[in-house]
């Protein structure tokens, strides 16, 4: 019913087309193998795997895919989990058609979008990074090989476009990796990121 409702809201918009739908994480992965998409609208509470797990897997498989969380949960843990997994926005299920379309369009265009109450929750916790139960205090987070490469180039003060040209990837892909690096390290600025990288010997 929820999926049909979303499709009804999006139907008729000239710049939006629903190309696939799925009722589980596994079904979503299978659908994307056959049908390319620009944006995935993800719930958190799903069978087989959570929306957070699916979001992380989609980021790994499709780094250029934009992801927007649509959930009934507005607690900090759920929001933080989706953002760290790679979502670029988070809206609630009681959203209006106007807000849904605004969120879809902004995310697809490479920006972020948050329902006002979600944005407030994020700001309220901005000074308190969420603890990682899999990482002892004081140890460095795990970055992929590509993320480490991009971190090195950020430290050299290269722009996203310059990094993209150097690594032969798209600027949008660089933006995605850059965002993931900031989320993983809980850095608020480039200066903070470099300090973190030096402290944990992530850059040479």
- 42 and 109 share a domain? yes
pLDDT of the residue at 137: 47
Spatial distance between the Cα atoms of 87 and 56, rounded to a whole number of angstroms: 9
Spatial distance between the Cα atoms of 197 and 152, rounded to a whole number of angstroms: 9
Among 73, 89, 124, residue at a domain's last position: 124
In a domain, 172, yes or no: yes
Question: Count of H helices and E strands in the chain?
Answer: 10, 4
What b/e readout covers 113-138, taking b as 16+ CB neighbours within 10 angstroms? Answer: bbbeebeebeeeeeeeeeeeeeeeee
Q: What is the pLDDT of residues 6-47, one digit of tens each?
A: 888 888 899 999 999 999 999 999 999 999 999 999 998 887
Q: What is the pLDDT of residues 104-160, one digit of tens each?
A: 999 999 888 888 888 877 766 654 444 443 444 456 677 888 888 999 898 888 899
The count of structural domains within the chain is 2
Among 90, 124, 158, residue at a domain's last position: 124
- 153 and 55 share a domain? no
Q: Is pLDDT above 80 for 191?
A: no
Whether the Cβ atoms of residue 108 and residue 66 lie closer than 8 Å to each other: yes
Task: State the residue range of the domain holding 8.
Answer: 2-124
In a domain, 88, yes or no: yes
- 90 and 189 share a domain? no
- pLDDT band for position 184 (cuts 50, 70, 90): confident
Average pLDDT estimate for 83-97? 89
What three-state secondary structure class fits 40? strand
Can you give the pTM of this predicted structure?
Answer: 0.61
Whether the Cβ atoms of residue 119 and residue 165 lie closer than 8 Å to each other: no
- 48 and 108 share a domain? yes
Instruction: Look up the CATH number of the domain holding residue 66.
Output: 3.40.50.2300
């Amino acid at each position: 019913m929820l999926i049909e409702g979303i499709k009804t809201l999006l139907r008729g918009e000239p710049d939006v087309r629903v190309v696939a739908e799925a009722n589980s994480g596994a079904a979503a992965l299978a659908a994307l193998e056959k049908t390319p998409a620009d944006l995935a609208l993800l719930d958190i509470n799903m069978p087989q795997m959570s929306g957070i797990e699916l979001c992380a897997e989609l980021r790994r498989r499709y780094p250029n895919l934009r992801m927007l969380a649509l959930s009934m949960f507005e607690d900090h843990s759920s929001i933080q989990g989706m953002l760290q997994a790679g979502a670029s926005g988070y809206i609630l299920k009681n959203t209006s058609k106007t807000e849904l379309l605004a969120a879809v369009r902004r995310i697809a265009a490479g920006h972020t979008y948050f329902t006002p109450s979600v944005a407030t929750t994020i700001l309220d916790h901005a000074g308190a990074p969420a603890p990682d139960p899999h990482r002892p205090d004081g140890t460095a987070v795990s970055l992929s090989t590509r993320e480490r490469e991009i971190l090195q180039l950020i430290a050299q003060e290269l722009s996203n476009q310059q990094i993209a040209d150097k690594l032969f990837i798209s600027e949008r892909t660089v933006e995605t990796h850059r965002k993931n690096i900031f989320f993983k390290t809980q850095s608020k600025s480039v200066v903070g990121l470099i300090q973190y990288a030096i402290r944990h010997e992530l850059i040479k």
